Structure 1
Amino acid sequence: MEPRSLKPAGWVQGYAPGVPCRRPSSIQERRLPPILRLLERRQEDLQLQGALAAEREEGHSTIGVLALRWEELRAQEAELKGHLLRFQPHIAEKEVKCLQAVKKAKGAQDLCKLKEQQLRLLQEEQQSLLKRKKKIQTQIQQYRKFYDYLESIVEASEEFQCSDDVLSRFHTLFATSQYLQQVVQDTQASIDQTKGQLSSFLEDNSDKMQQLDNQLGQLQADLEQAQNQRLLWEARWGHIQNLVTKKTLLLGTIKMAVLNLFQCIAMPSGIIAMDDTVRQLELVRMGLTGASHRLQFCIIQGIKMWS
């Protein structure tokens, strides 16, 4: 819908947007008495108010139609939500069944793969055991002569009853020999290590005392340096605190100045927070810009009227 023109004939745009002013149509109109010009302006104001009232009624009717349409849409939305809620359990049940079926099929597939893997491992183990059996049989054939020799020893000796006794006695003696050799080696290594530690301690005793003295001197120097650094940083921290205090006071002064300027110059435009300095500055700038434009327009109009 195109906006209606509420300006009567003979009127032009004024110094502010939306405010018309009347242009004298002739020299006679300029010379009309003030009372007639005042009545004429009142009549034009009444015409403008009537046009504005008609536009306002049309706007109210449009808003009513939109409100009815909104209520219909809300009712349709509630109805769709009801249908969705009724069918939601069935949909959820179907989804659960599908998920269970998929899970069951996946479980069966994984079980089948696991069984196949176990079967493959068992087959590999069987092949390994067969190879080991064959190797053991070969070794038995190779060591058969030693077994026969042990049997002949048992028959000739009265101390042993069977070949296992001979082997047991041999293993016992062999283990005892290995243990005694290991004990001798460990004892000798411990003796050598103790001798080395004693000689190192006697040689390094004086060097360690000198090293400790040097470390003590270095630590004292580090302590003095740390104390100096502490004093320096304390002085810097005091300077920073003083600077922060000054900046805080300056910021508070700037905010109070902006607030005072906003309350004096800016036009009311809703609720502005007291601490919203950026918005206040923006409104002050807009107010100053509008005032500057209006002042320039009034000066130009004055110049035109005098000319």
Structure 2
Amino acid sequence: MALNLEDYFRTVYEDKLLVKMPEREDEQLTAATRLLEKRREMAEVEQALATQKEEFHVKMESLHQRREELGNKEELLKESLLKFDKFLKENDTKRSRAVRKARAERDMARQKDRDIERLGKEIDALQARKERLQGRVKNNAIYWEYMNKVTNRSEKFEEIRELTVRFDALLSTREQLLQRESEGQERMEAERMRLHRYTKDCSDLILQYNNQLATLQTQLDDARSQALKWESTWNHIQATAAKKTLLLGQIKMVTLNLYQMLNKQTKQEGEVAVEDTAGQLDKIQLFIQDLSDILCDLKRMDMVSAHTSSHVN
């Protein structure tokens, strides 16, 4: 906003702030007169700037109030929109409820139509069944007449009900006997299957034991073969160990003799025990190394003396 204000005042008063070049007839004015003229012009410009600033502040206050009014109107508009949205939602809810109610009533009417149709079909089916049963009763009437004749001639049964009860008892007994026979057949079949499975399991077990026995026999043969092999190897190891032991004893004796000869040559007392063959070998190695060094020094001296004599000649 400060930058815009500065541009505004610069644009409005740029022409007024421009100082005109003095013409030829003003050249006679004194410096004091020109200074007073400049001050007067600056005062006029400052007065104009103050007036414009006041007008600008008034406009800014008006714009601020206008903005507040617009904000209040916007809040009122938002509240109105919220109320209208709530009104629309309530109308949608009522309309949805009415639609669901109408749909439920239509579904109920269709269900009742279906129930009526189903009940009509059931009535037709029951009527047809009634006609069939009446036909069966008519056809079975001869059996009823026959039962009456039987009870009239029978001395044991006086009523048809007693005859039917006896017949039902005999029929139930027959069913029980058939059920027992069926259960006996099932138990017999189960026992037969169990015997078959037991026989098969025993055969499989015998076959498995035979296979294990063959495997164990093979392992026994392999173990015996390995035992013979390792026995031969052990004998060879024992023979080889005897030879190695004899060779080791010979090496120790030779080493001891060399060490004793070394002590005689160096005229030193024995610093190593008789059983310490490794220590004796170390001493012998040091002695041989010393002799080798001495021999190398002698050869070097001979070569130097020969070289010197050749130069002298």
Question: What TM bracket, shorter-length normalisation?
Answer: 0.3 to 0.5
TM-score, normalised on structure 2? Answer: 0.41
**Structure with more contact order per residue of length (Cα contacts < 8 Å, sep ≥ 6):** 1
